[in-house]
Each structure stands twice: as C-alpha cells, then as structure tokens.
Amino acid sequence: MPETRDWLTGGLPHIWQPYTQMQTAPAPLPVVTAQGVRLRLADGRELIDGISSWWTACHGYSHPHIRAAVEAQLATLPHVMFAGLVHEPALRLAARLAALLPGDLERVFFTESGSVAVEVALKMAIQYWRNKGQPAKQRIVHFRHAYHGDTFATMALCDPEEGMHALFAGTMPDQIMAELPTDAALRRAFDLLLETHAERLAAVIVAPLVQGAGGMRMHDAATLAFVAEACARNNVLLIADEIMTGFGRTGRMFACEEADVIPDIICLSKALTGGTLPLAATVARTHVFAAFLSGDPAAALMHGPTYMANALACAAANASLDLFERKPRLEQVAAIEAQLREELAPCRALAGVADVRGKGAIGAGELSCQPGGAIDLHGLRRRFVELGVWLRPFGKLVYLMPPFIVTPAELTTLTAAVRTVLTERAGTL
C-alpha cells in the first residue's frame, strides 16, 4: 500500500464529497480497513460504526461468507450486459427475492442505486396506466417529510421545504404531497385527495413505517394499511420504498409485512448486498408486469442501466441472503431494539432534546435549538470521533443504525457516546 501521506494528500484536493460544503467542512477521515463493526483509520484509531455506512452493512464489514462469494464470482464472470444475456447469480437472486417478498411480487428489475430503483418504479407506474389505455394517470402522491432519492424525479417526491430539495424548486416535475394519514381527520383528507384526483393519479409512494433521511419519522402499521386500502379503493398503484427499511432493519424482513400490505411495486437497495457492492431492485406484482406484455414494442419498459444485475453484486446479495437464512438476524434486531430503547431513554430528560424514538435496529434523538439558532453538526461529529464512534448527525437528528452483529458491549459504547454528547450539549443551552 502506498504511504498514507501519498494517497491522502495527493487525492484530497481532487474529490467532491456528498452533502458537504467543501470550503468549510473538516477534512474527511481516511479509513484503511473495516472489519465487523469497526473502522480503522490511517492513524491507527478504531471507530465503532453506529450507522452501517448509510444503513447498508447489516452483517458488518468484510463478512467472510460474502467476501468468498464475491471472490469466487470474480474468478468466473465479473460482469456481462443484461440485455439478451443472463447469468446465474442474477437469476438465483431474482428467484430468491420473489420467494421472500409477500404475495406475487415476482418480477425483478435490477439497477445500481436506490434513487434509480425509485425512478424505475415511477416509470413502471406511469407506463402501466398508459399501456392500459389511461394515459392521464401520471401524477404521484408522496408524503410530507418523505425522502426517496437525489435524482430529479425522486427529489420531486421529497418534502420541498426540507434539505437540499428546496434549492431545485421549479425545476422538477410537479407532484402531489399529502400528510401521512395518522388519525381520523387525516385519513378522511387522504381518502378525499385520492378520490378527487384518481383519474390522474398513477401511484402513491410511501416509505413503510420509517421515513429515513426525512428525519427517522415513524408511523404505525395501521397507517400503512390504511394507505394501501385507500389506493385499492381508488384504483391507484402503491409503491413501497423499502430501500432503507428492507432486509430486517425494522424487525421484519420487509416493513410492509408488519401491516400485511402487498404493494404493487417495491424498491430495494442498501442492505441488499450486505453493504458490499452497489445493487438495487424494483420488483413488480404479476398484474403490473402483465400490462407490459404486448405485440407492440413500445409497450415494453424502456430502461436499461449499463451495469444492471452486475454479477459480482448479485453474488454478494445471494451471500447476504444466505446469512439471513443461517443467522438469527431478526432476533438480533429485536435485541438491539430493546437495548436502544432502554439506553437512549435518559436522553428524553435532557435540554435540547425534543424527542427520542425507535423502531427495530433504529434509534433516534431529535434535537431542538433556540429560534434562529443552529445545530453544530461538525462539532457533534468531531466529538463522537473523540469518543471512539462513527456517527453522522444530520438536520436535527442524532441517530443509531448499527450493523445487526453489534455486540451488547459495542452498542452500549454507542449509546453512551450519544448520552455524553447530548448531555454536554444540554449544558451549553
């Protein structure tokens, strides 16, 4: 390996990092290895990762089973185009996903990222109605505080008043935002919205149970079930964005299972490969796929990423599914949930903490500040590193989403760091 000073000092002036004001942000931390739940930095320090690299590394880093699967695949077939050709890892993975998902969600379209998986779902939904002779049904309903991606079509489904999406107001497709129907009045309003606009609505998109990057806002299974029922009553497709919630994070393999909901289309990514390689999937029910079967070539789904169904990524995803079959991952999530609930509870009494909430292997503390004030995110992140943990607060949120293999002692280190930092912050308010 080249000397750290060579690749670090030589490379830093040429990168552009995400969600980062490059003029004022502190220098990023150089990671040289990742094993289990620990990141080792170039200077020898180790950090316990409490957020699973944006919620992907559900089995921890460098899991030997996933690594071996990728190495074996690399020796035979790293990649081949997925148009007119297929390969074993993708076909096995598609069949396994169809067997795992509820109902008849059984037609899998592979992409490389969550945002693109949602874009494909939107294409499917809009073209579904066109193919069925109802081209006016092309608008999408989304929910306040939602986040569904960073590409232009997906930004149009995010809360326009939050985050970066406000910067692009007026440049994105005009969609319809609703409130999550969490009480009787909001349910009546949501039903009326769908009934009023049904002739032009293609789909409703929802992040089941937890709105992740929108602030870890949570709703119950009854709310999700009502959304699904309202879509069915009003002849509108339901898209479930399970990019963050899928693969055990909320306590079920897929969050929609908790409400016995079978969406028309589901989007998957993040933990699909155990955090090893980029891969996403948009999976449709039988009736959605059937609408694209025709003698007319124009009725086909016109989308095709160059690296879709990459063989290495599919091999990693199959190995990840092996681990869900062989290891007690959902039981581990239940244990994490109980420990997070107990160890984060004292934060509720701290000044500057507006709420503490959790679901499955997700624990979140929502911060408050004085009117006109700001939360020092860089300072919080720096302090967490000093305490030996890697957390990345955003907006008003400090949160934990550790790998499922985190030990009770490691999780206590994470929660203790959160309590310490929030207690220190409370003393300054």
Residue 11 CA to residue 9 CA, distance in Å, equals 6
Q: In what order do the strands lie in the sheet with 397-400?
A: 353-358, 363-367, 397-400
Catalytic position from the list 49, 61, 128, 147: 147
Catalytic position from the list 19, 183, 220, 260: 19
By C-alpha distance, which of 171, 176, 138, 170 is closest to 157? Answer: 176
Residue 103 CA to residue 98 CA, distance in Å, equals 9
User: Does 270 participate in catalysis according to the annotation?
Assistant: yes
Look at the alpha carbons of 250, 363, 119, 308 in this order and tell me if their dihedral is positive or negative. Answer: negative
Whether the CB-CB separation of 356 and 365 falls below 8 Å is answered with yes
Q: Residue 370 class from Cβ within 10 Å (0-12 exposed, 13-18 middle, 19+ buried)?
A: exposed
Catalytic position from the list 49, 241, 359, 399: 241
Residue 224 CA to residue 143 CA, distance in Å, equals 12
**In degrees to the nearest 10, what's the CA dihedral of 245, 248, 250, 256?**
60
Look at the alpha carbons of 83, 84, 89, 94 in this order and tell me if their dihedral is positive or negative. Answer: positive
In this structure, the strands spanning 280-285 and 105-111 are antiparallel
Please enumerate in sequence order all residues whose Cβ is within 8 A of that of 325, keeping only pairs 6 or more positions apart, or say none: none
Q: Residue 1 class from Cβ within 10 Å (0-12 exposed, 13-18 middle, 19+ buried)?
A: exposed
Query: Cα–Cα distances in Å, from 212 out to 24, 194, 225?
Result: 26, 24, 19
Classified as helix, coil or strand, 211 is strand
b/e per residue 29-47 (b: at least 16 CB within 10 A): eeeeebebbbbebbeeeeb
Q: Residue 371 class from Cβ within 10 Å (0-12 exposed, 13-18 middle, 19+ buried)?
A: exposed
In this structure, the strands spanning 237-241 and 265-268 are parallel
User: Does 19 participate in catalysis according to the annotation?
Assistant: yes
| Strand intervals (E) in 259-317 | 265-268, 280-285
Catalytic position from the list 49, 264, 270, 399: 270
* Residues labelled as active-site residues: 19, 147, 241, 270
